[in-house]
Amino acid sequence: MSGLFSVLSVGAVQLRNRFVLPAMQRGLAVNYTLTPQLIEYYRRCAHGGAGLIITESVAVNHPTATGHDGFVMMIDASRADSWTRCFDAVHGEGSRILVQLNHTGACRVENSGGPRPDMASLSPSGLIRAGNPNGRAATLAELAEIRDGFVDSAMQAKAFGADGVEVHCAHGYLLDQFLWSETNLRADDYGGATLAERARFPAEIVAAIRKAAGADFLISVRFSQWKEADYSARIVHSAQELQPFLKRMQDAGADLFHASTRRFYEPAAVDAPTTFAGWVKSQTDLPVITVGSVGLNVDVMDTIYTEQVIESRTQQSIEKLETLFREGQFDLVAVGRSMMGDPDWVNKIREGRYADVIPFRREIVKQALSEWDDSAIVGSATSHD
């Protein structure tokens, strides 16, 4: 296990190992604010060995960034105390912490809550997917306001003690709606035939955060093929298509790429054995996070929406991770539900105590979902591990 437990420097941040707690919507926020229970959850995962903690999604400072409470947080001066306590708690356990920044875009349901429920949902072209409209296309002035909202939230995170932010460009939310050709039909400079062209707005956000926050602030970019509205969606069909996009994001100031998939071990294409994270790693010299169903036989969306029997497969996952790590297909691994079930998961793996791992239970997610009206958002707002 020496490789996965080796130190890694990412930008100006040093991580004690290669294990990451990804953004996990626990349903523990109240009035868009961190609660003591959520702070303790992050602290426990850090105490249990995770080298990097990524908070659940934080709605950026823009009135249409979110439309529901409970599964989304905000970061501003009125919530400074709770965020400072959270960052101090994680740092006290020897881990680093990023704040995931997100705007739901066309996934937001109007008149469902949030700072301005009366406002139209904004997105590149007013689409959740082809044939599924919601809200309207954002104007250039509105895009500038959203960009400023990302920067403002990032600077609040820095002021309160975060090591960096993760810019959420995955799973069909606003920035991913720019990347996906099915939801970005713009004819101006924010559209385009290629992924790199459609990445202009996410890249502008990363560049603006980098300019404001400085060189020592870590910026992760999370992106995915699949969307909550379409599991089979693709933003690229080959590793080579990724290279111009990755270069654009790196040139903008990204330090880290988080390649989100539903199952970390699956090939990115039927005719190639390389995983999606492996595709990304083959086209960039920046560190890459792999993610998806580590330690489990059922992926996160099936956890929520089906009744498949969930089996713990910790040792099998570690063996596969070791193989992919030696092949150079990733640098870090995000472990979501398994760490949710057992915050000591990383330390138990380090000590070879596979039999002592507490298995993840579906009820952990369902208990949170039972408090949430899923009509409040078009997509689901759950964990993406």
**DSSP symbols for 171-207:** ETSHHHHHHSTTT----STT--SSHHHHTHHHHHHHH
Give the residue with greater pLDDT, 34 vs 371: 34
pLDDT of residue 308: 64
Q: Name the phi and psi angles at 314, rounded to 5.
A: -65, -55
pLDDT of 378 higher than 90:
no
pLDDT of 94 higher than 50:
yes
pLDDT of 309 higher than 70:
no
**pTM score of the predicted model:** 0.93
Tokens 């992919």 identify what position? 324
pLDDT of 377 higher than 70:
no
Token pair, residue 168, equals 């959420």
In this prediction, residues 269-273 reach a mean pLDDT of 86
pLDDT tens-digit readout, 310-329? 677 889 999 999 999 999 99
What is the band of 5 on the pLDDT scale with cuts at 50, 70, 90? very high
Q: Which amino acid is at 337?
A: R
pLDDT of 154 higher than 50:
yes
* Mean predicted lDDT score pLDDT of the chain: 90
pLDDT of residue 250: 98
pLDDT of residue 365: 66
List the beta strands (DSSP E) in 201-255. 218-227
Token pair, residue 159, equals 């002021």
In this prediction, residues 179-202 reach a mean pLDDT of 98
Candidate from 125-139, 157-171, 290-304 with smallest mean pLDDT: 290-304
In percent, the amount of the chain with pLDDT more than 70 equals 89
pLDDT of 159 higher than 70:
yes
pLDDT of residue 303: 55
The burial of 143, by beta-carbon neighbours within 10 Å (0-12 exposed, 13-18 middle, 19 or more buried), is given as buried
pLDDT tens-digit readout, 68-77? 766 789 999 9
Give the residue with greater pLDDT, 358 vs 156: 156
pLDDT of residue 131: 93
pLDDT of residue 307: 65
Maximum Cα–Cα distance for the chain, whole Å?
56
Give the residue with greater pLDDT, 100 vs 115: 100
pLDDT of 265 higher than 50:
yes
pLDDT of 374 higher than 70:
no
In this prediction, residues 243-250 reach a mean pLDDT of 98
Q: Name the phi and psi angles at 245, rounded to 5.
A: -65, -50
Token pair, residue 116, equals 């301005």
List the beta strands (DSSP E) in the chain. 8-10, 13-15, 19-21, 52-54, 58-59, 96-102, 122-123, 127-129, 132-133, 136-137, 164-171, 218-227, 256-260, 267-269, 272-275, 288-291, 332-334
CATH code of domain 8-376: 3.20.20.70
pLDDT of 119 higher than 50:
yes
Concatenate the DSSP letters of all residues of 63-116 into one string. Answer: TTS---SSS-B--SGGGHHHHHHHHHHHHHTT-EEEEEEE--GGGBPTTSSSS-
In percent, the amount of the chain with pLDDT more than 90 equals 77
Non-local CB neighbours of 319 within 8 Å, separated by 6+ positions:
none
pLDDT of 376 higher than 70:
no
In this prediction, residues 37-57 reach a mean pLDDT of 96
pLDDT of 78 higher than 70:
yes
